[in-house]
């Protein structure tokens, strides 16, 4: 298996049950017939180490001095990327609907990258970037994820790199064919939509 080939990561995602089929409400509010539960992929330390090393290679030029991730999905992979790059790692958390650095002081003047497990709309990445850019002396160098399912619609352009990309169709609730067929809806994301 060529570990640098995207098909290898996809195969590991299928093997671990991370790549799922059904009817899912995504954190973005959209519905899909596919869901990436990267926690199932990352629960195996060798997969986390592999993905972290591969992403670090894609994010090493220019070399960041900090890796930051949105919690909760980005914590494991962000830590692994930081370990591979030999730099510190911090994460931000949602508090009353917005991202905050609750557990860490302002990092001071740093060039940083943002690392996530899956990017769909890029909302969490952009919220993390806005938070970091408001801190004195920080400089955004790029973002990376294990899986990009955004279809290039994040607004990050070439600043976002990934190990694999998926072009799964997403639907608004009103246009969702699975809703029309009465397929039971699962809501596995970290940003719950229903009360």
Q: What CATH number does the domain containing 105 carry?
A: 3.40.50.2020
Which residues have a Cβ under 8 Å from the Cβ of 181 and sit 6 or more positions away? none
Q: How many Cβ atoms sit within 10 Å of the Cβ of residue 42?
A: 22
Using the predicted structure, report yes or no on whether residue 33 has a pLDDT greater than 80: yes
> Per mean pLDDT, which of 28-32, 119-123, 168-172 is the most reliable?
168-172
38 lies in some domain: no
pLDDT tens digits, one per residue of 121-158:
888 999 999 999 999 999 999 999 999 988 877 888 78
How far apart are alpha carbons 110 and 189 in whole angstroms? 31
75 lies in some domain: yes
Are the C-beta atoms of residues 190 and 73 closer than 8 Å to each other?
yes
Mean pLDDT for the stretch of residues 51-67? 96
178 lies in some domain: no
Using the predicted structure, report yes or no on whether residue 194 has a pLDDT greater than 50: no
How far apart are alpha carbons 132 and 112 in whole angstroms? 9
pLDDT tens digits, one per residue of 41-50:
999 999 999 9
129 lies in some domain: yes
35 lies in some domain: no
126 lies in some domain: yes
Q: What is the pLDDT of residue 50?
A: 95
- By residue range, what is the domain housing residue 73? 44-168
8 lies in some domain: no
Q: 0.75 exceeded by the pTM? A: yes
Using the predicted structure, report yes or no on whether residue 70 has a pLDDT greater than 90: yes
How far apart are alpha carbons 124 and 94 in whole angstroms? 9
CA distances from residue 140 to 88, 90, 133, 145, 186 in whole angstroms, order as listed: 15, 14, 7, 15, 35
73 lies in some domain: yes
The number of domains in the chain is 1
Quote the tokens at residue 35.
Answer: 């869901």
């Amino acid at each position: 298996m060529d570990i640098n080939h995207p098909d290898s990561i996809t195969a590991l995602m299928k093997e671990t049950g991370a790549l799922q089929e059904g009817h899912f409400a995504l954190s973005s509010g959209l519905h899909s017939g596919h869901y990436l539960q990267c926690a199932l992929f990352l629960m195996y330390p060798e997969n986390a180490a592999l993905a972290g090393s591969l992403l670090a290679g894609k994010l090493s030029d220019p070399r960041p001095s900090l890796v930051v991730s949105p919690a909760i999905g980005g914590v494991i992979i962000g830590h692994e990327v930081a370990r591979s790059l030999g730099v510190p790692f911090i994460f931000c958390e949602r508090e009353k609907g917005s991202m905050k650095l609750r557990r860490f002081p302002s990092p001071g003047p740093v060039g940083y990258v943002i690392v996530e497990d899956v990017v769909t709309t890029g909302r969490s990445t952009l919220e993390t970037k806005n938070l970091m850019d408001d801190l004195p002396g920080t400089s955004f160098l790029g973002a990376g994820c294990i899986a990009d399912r955004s279809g290039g619609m994040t607004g990050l352009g070439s600043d976002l790199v990934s190990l694999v990309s998926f072009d799964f169709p997403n639907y608004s609730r009103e246009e969702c064919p699975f809703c029309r067929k009465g397929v039971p809806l699962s809501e596995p994301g970290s940003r719950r939509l229903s009360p």
